[in-house]
Structure 1
């Protein structure tokens, strides 16, 4: 299905709905899409944690998914 077809189908659904809650949800989606970057919504501590994680990954200080899952075996 092309993007234009999808848009037309969505417009039909939008025009035919009488549910205000549906319209509000759609409006919220578009407002969130046009809002600031998610990075800007985070606080300084979250920025630092992400930057630390990226540095650790660059330095090879990572664990494989398999190794992490092994550590959770103790809790089963």
Structure 2
């Protein structure tokens, strides 16, 4: 069964749902699958992440290998 047929079948089954809690669960699943975790962050958190991404793009970072070398005596 292709994707379009599955969607159509799902819509038909959805029309038969009579329990509010079932609809709420389905809505939460759809909402979770359509939202981006980044959008749920505050503006300050998003800004901090952007700063980090900019630093990586500018080569301003230390590789995992270098960190492991520096701290190998404690590992």
TM-score of the two chains, using structure 1 as the length reference: 0.53
Partner of 1:17: 17
Instruction: Classify the secondary structure of the residue corresponding to 2:63.
Output: coil
State the structure with bigger RCO (CA 8 A, min sep 6), 1 or 2: 1
Partner of 1:59: 58
Partner of 1:44: 43
Q: Distance in 1 between matches of 2:23 and 2:62?
A: 44
Further displaced range: 53-62 or 16-25: 16-25
Q: Distance in 2 between matches of 1:2 and 1:62?
A: 47
TM-score of the two chains, using structure 2 as the length reference: 0.53
Aligned residues, how many?
Answer: 68
Q: Distance in 2 between matches of 1:41 and 1:17?
A: 30
Residue 39 of structure 1: how far off its partner (Å): 4.8
Q: Distance in 1 between matches of 2:50 and 2:8?
A: 42
Long gaps (5+) in structure 1: none
